[in-house]
Chains A and B, each alone.
Chain A
Amino acid sequence: MATVSTQEVSPKKLWGGGMEPMKASYGKLMMWFFLLSDAFTFSALLITYGMNRFGANAFPGLREDFKFSTEYWPIPEAVFKAAPFFHDAYLPLVFVGIMTFILIMSSVTMVLAVEAGHRMDQNDVEKWMAWTVIGGITFLGCQAWEWSHFIHGEPDSPTFAKVFQGGQWVTKQIIGANLHENQYGPPLFADLFFFITGFHGTHVLSGVVLNILIFYNTTMGVYQRRGHYEMVEKVGLYWHFVDLVWVFVFTFFYLV
């Protein structure tokens, strides 16, 4: 029964102010609560995707015969099958797999930076923060390529859709995707792609900016003088959260 780690404090006194009942600093706690609220935002976006996917028609035929149409929801491996330097090759989900690996890897280098901070090892923190920044920038570059490919589409195999234009229904050829029309499926699919991966990418971007700031401060010896590397931990929490969100985006947007 006895927990002798800290001396006995009555619950009333513990929560009565002047103590740290959660044994975490204000900044760290607020980062956790911010991330919780951010998790709700991302949940809302992903659940909206789920609802619209449930609400849309599915492709009636066999998966092998799948063809793009605005009438039904696309299957993800048909949409995301391209990779840079391999023009026209059918590489389903390969590029997004590489992106996932990059992000997991940069999460590892981040947690190694946090670990180095616990040891007050400035050189190691610098090294791992630099790798984390590189990983983040690489991921953003990959995403830029993917967006560009998605927006420009595949001119060799346009999708024909009935659209209401000038007071009547006309058949229109669609190449690529934007917020109004989408070669790969219903316009909503493109909208959700842009919003979900875009919102995540914005988080990656701000994470990279924060990581660069932390890297700069580390090299200037700010945290060494301060006597602790808690800032690395706090920004690390944010960076891991970005990775966590990607795990969910990867499953619900690319795999399912």
Chain B
Amino acid sequence: MEAHTVNTPNQALAKPQTKLIWRTFWILLALTALEFLIAFTVPAGTPRTIIFVLMTLVKAFYIVAEFMHLKGEVKTLIWCILIPTVFVAWFIAALLIEGGSVHEMRPQMPAGK
């Protein structure tokens, strides 16, 4: 029946395994839709920002773990990629504190100008 797969020694045209891919897609789509909902229903402020950041990290997890398949790599490789990102955490803390300080030193907006 499958005459055109003579030269493929291993599995000759196996069935596509796409269940997990589509599940990941629906999760990403649902999270993005939820982000939109929150953007227009929840008032802006620190709690909303925290929700957005957490949802972004969940989405990032699914992209890296499932789409980039980091989940299926050996532990050493996973840690080699994840551990250096602590520098980003430091970077965020350092510069946001700096930004807050800039804001305090900046002359406040004069009223009615």
Produce 1/0 per residue, B30-49, CB < 8 A to A: 00100110011001100001
Contact with B along A221-249 (1 / 0, CB 8 A): 00000000000000011001101100110
Q: List the A side residues contacting B84 at CB < 8 Å.
A: 36
Tell me how many residue pairs across A and B have CB atoms closer than 8 Å: 146
Chain B residues near A72 (CB-CB < 8 A) = 109
* B53 in contact with A104 (CB, 8 Å): no
Contact in complex: B21, A24 (CB < 8 Å) = no
Give the nearest-CB partner of A72 in chain B: B109
Partner of B59, one of A40, A119, A241, A247: A247
Contact with A along B13-27 (1 / 0, CB 8 A): 110111001101100
Contact A51 B17 (CB under 8 A): no
> Is the Cβ of B74 less than 8 Å from the Cβ of A23?
yes
Cβ A53 vs Cβ B99 within 8 A: yes
The chain A residue sitting closest to B43, CB to CB, is A63
* A112 within 8 A of partner (CB): yes
In whole angstroms, how far apart are the Cα atoms of A241 and B25 in the complex?
A: 15
Name the A residues within 8 Å of B77 (CB-CB).
Answer: 22-24, 29, 32
Verify if A44 is at the interface (C-beta below 8 Å from B).
yes
- Smallest CB-CB separation from B107: which chain A residue? A57
Residues of B whose CB lies within 8 Å of any CB of A are 8, 10-11, 13-14, 16-18, 21-22, 24-25, 28-29, 32, 35-36, 39-40, 43-44, 49, 52-53, 55-56, 59-60, 63-64, 66-68, 73-74, 76-77, 80-81, 84-85, 87-88, 91-92, 95-96, 98-103, 106, 108-109, 113
23 pairs of residues in contact across A and B, judged by CB atoms under 8 Å: A21-B76, A22-B76, A33-B80, A47-B88, A47-B96, A50-B96, A54-B103, A55-B98, A55-B102, A63-B44, A93-B36, A104-B29, A108-B21, A108-B24, A108-B25, A111-B66, A115-B17, A119-B14, A119-B16, A120-B10, A244-B64, A247-B59, A250-B32
Residue numbers of A with Cβ under 8 A of B are: 21-24, 29, 32-33, 36, 39-40, 43-44, 47-48, 50-57, 60, 63, 71-72, 75, 77, 92-93, 97, 100-101, 104-105, 107-108, 110-112, 115-116, 119-121, 124, 236-237, 240-241, 243-244, 247-248, 250-251, 255-256
The 8 closest A-B pairs by CB, nearest first: A54-B99, A55-B102, A51-B99, A51-B95, A251-B56, A22-B77, A55-B99, A240-B67
